[in-house]
């Protein structure tokens, strides 16, 4: 049994090991969906409590448990405790004791909170260009989206608060519904599954209890003794196992590299781009612009093929996806503001072991529910900053695709998982620095949520009269102990276009060769 602090009424279940790596434990985040009409406050609240009764892990507390491989456990409330917590949540005046917070802001438009989201609610975006807008202020954002959420791992490990909380804010012209969570909850697919379960509860009845709670999908990859933590070599006369090396693009830093990286980061944060200059921005790209970019990118690839000799043509795989093109467009605009065009740049993006399993994987490894994470950060092959800014869109998209094709090789996926577990497990980090870039590179990262299809979540059953109501805007933010600079997300399609967000300076947001070319919403 996990050695948990005594908390009557709770059952302890170990947090999966990959969800307990430092890239997850250190982040408290939230995802907000904005629907273009008022939804029923009472129905949203009652259906949330009904869902929690069916899935009590949503009300779990998290505690340090030295006896578990991850060092952390969920304390899942038993039925009687769920009832007690619901009663407390419904009657308390303290937001931190509420599992769902309801805010009646019907006296104000969402435009007073988030102008670019209001453009989506009003269906008034330009269809000819990209729109750019600032995020809400930090204090207002916390109040209107997640006033009941924990803001640090330290708070989560000591507080009588759930690791997942909900909030619904009803405006005069819209409703914003937010799930706030510790990143140990999983990945974007996990959050989408909770939204969908909430939707089903509103429409009819709560889903069946989750099966497989406590199954750890990657425990067999935990070195040194996990049976899948080594590579398998098959030869004609013998089978052998060898240690898994570092994944593609990762380096184990020595002292000099650590000093160089520290200087690179400190000089950027303290001198070149002080933290106070950064803000969060949102971008909306209408579907018409997306299609135009796809046409342009395909033409660029065709031109590249035409300029190649016959042997090169045969070797070229010229398929590019919408994601490849969207990320290429984003990286062009990000790098336009970089002052040193010859300086190399490394971009980290996301692949997911849920859809790209590692070597030695067996389908029975994965639990039948989605409340666990499989997201892995992987670097693209580095390019000069000036190349990111100036290469033809299609050529850059092809570079992205080629880089990711190598990254999703099953053996490399295995190497990613084993490396994370070997060096960054919260309970026992190695103390060694394994990093995804050289110390003098420009650094940036982009999360991909487009494949989760948040835009398909339909909360129309909570509208009056009931009808199909899907989100037209999406928002996110996170609490983390380091700078949020250079972090981006491609949200995906909703409201007739694609949403993006990221953290940059005002100078970068208005650069004439980058995001300054587009319409800025005030």
Q: Which residues are catalytic?
A: 183, 458
Secondary structure in 3-state letters for 96-115: HHCCEEEEEECCCCHHHCCH
Backbone angles phi, psi at 21, to 5 degrees: -80, 160
Strand order in the sheet with 28-35: 100-105, 164-171, 175-182, 28-35, 473-479
Using CB atoms within 10 Å of the CB of residue 478, give its burial: 0 to 12 exposed, 13 to 18 middle, 19+ buried.
middle
- Calculated CA dihedral for residues 399, 405, 408, 412, nearest 10 degrees: -90
Cα distances (angstroms) measured from residue 395 to each of 2, 316, 317, 323, 359: 52, 12, 12, 14, 30
Tokens of 456: 């398909």
Helices 393-407 and 322-335, axial angle in degrees (round to 10): 110
- Cα gap 501→496, rounded to integer Å: 17
Selection from 125, 131, 118 nearest residue 34 by Cα:
118
Neighbours of 374 (CB within 10 A): 25
Tokens of 471: 């989100």
Residue 224: strand, helix, or coil: coil
Using only C-alpha atoms, the chain has a radius of gyration, in whole angstroms, of 23
- Cα gap 65→71, rounded to integer Å: 5
- Cα gap 25→17, rounded to integer Å: 11
| 170 alpha-carbon distance from chain centroid | 25
- Cα gap 471→461, rounded to integer Å: 13
Using CB atoms within 10 Å of the CB of residue 222, give its burial: 0 to 12 exposed, 13 to 18 middle, 19+ buried.
buried
């Amino acid at each position: 049994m996990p050695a948990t602090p005594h908390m009557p009424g709770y059952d302890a279940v170990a947090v999966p090991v990959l969800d307990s790596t430092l890239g997850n434990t250190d982040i408290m985040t939230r995802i907000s969906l904005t629907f273009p009409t008022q939804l029923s406050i009472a129905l949203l609240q009652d259906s949330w409590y009904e869902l929690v009764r069916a899935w009590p892990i949503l009300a779990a507390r998290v505690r340090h448990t030295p006896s578990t491989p991850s060092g952390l456990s969920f304390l899942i409330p038993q039925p009687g405790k769920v009832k007690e917590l619901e009663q407390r949540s419904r009657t308390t005046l303290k937001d931190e004791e509420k599992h769902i917070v309801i805010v009646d802001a019907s006296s104000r438009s969402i435009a007073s909170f988030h102008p670019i989201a209001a453009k989506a609610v009003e269906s008034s975006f330009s269809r000819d260009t990209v729109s750019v807008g600032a995020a809400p202020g930090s204090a207002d954002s916390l109040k209107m989206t997640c006033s009941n959420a924990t803001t640090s791992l330290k708070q989560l490990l000591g507080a009588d608060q759930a690791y997942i909380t909900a909030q619904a804010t009803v405006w005069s012209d819209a409703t914003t519904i937010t799930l706030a969570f510790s990143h140990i909850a999983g990945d974007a697919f996990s959050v989408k599954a909770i939204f969908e379960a909430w939707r089903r509860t509103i429409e009819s009845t709560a889903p069946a209890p989750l099966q497989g709670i406590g199954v750890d999908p990657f425990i067999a990859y935990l070195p040194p003794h996990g049976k899948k933590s080594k590579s398998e070599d098959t030869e004609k006369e013998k089978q052998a196992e060898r240690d898994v090396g570092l994944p593609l693009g990762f380096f184990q830093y020595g002292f000099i590299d650590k000093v160089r990286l520290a200087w690179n980061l400190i000089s950027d944060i303290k001198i070149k781009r002080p933290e106070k200059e950064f803000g969060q921005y949102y971008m909306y790209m209408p579907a018409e612009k997306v299609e135009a970019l796809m046409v342009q990118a395909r033409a660029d690839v065709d031109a590249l093929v035409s300029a190649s000799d016959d042997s090169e043509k045969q070797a070229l795989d010229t398929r590019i996806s919408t994601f490849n093109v969207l990320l290429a467009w984003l990286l062009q605009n990000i790098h336009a503001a970089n002052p040193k065009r010859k300086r190399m740049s490394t971009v980290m993006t996301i692949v997911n072991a849920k859809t790209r399993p590692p070597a030695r994987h067996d389908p029975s490894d994965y639990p039948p529910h989605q409340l666990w994470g499989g997201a892995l950060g992987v670097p693209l092959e580095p390019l000069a900053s000036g190349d990111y800014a100036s290469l033809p869109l299609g050529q850059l998209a092809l570079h992205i695709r080629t880089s990711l094709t190598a990254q999703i090789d099953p053996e490399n996926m295995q190497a990613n998982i084993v490396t994370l577990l070997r060096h960054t497990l919260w309970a026992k980090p190695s103390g060694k620095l394994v990093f995804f870039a050289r110390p003098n590179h420009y650094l940036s990262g982009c999360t991909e949520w487009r494949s989760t299809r948040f835009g398909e979540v339909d909360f129309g059953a909570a509208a009056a009269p009931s009808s199909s109501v899907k989100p037209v805007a999406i928002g996110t933010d996170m609490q983390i102990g380091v700078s949020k600079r250079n972090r981006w997300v491609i949200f995906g399609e909703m409201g007739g276009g694609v949403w993006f967000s990221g953290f940059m300076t005002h100078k970068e947001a208005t650069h004439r060769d980058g995001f300054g070319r587009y319409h800025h919403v005030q």
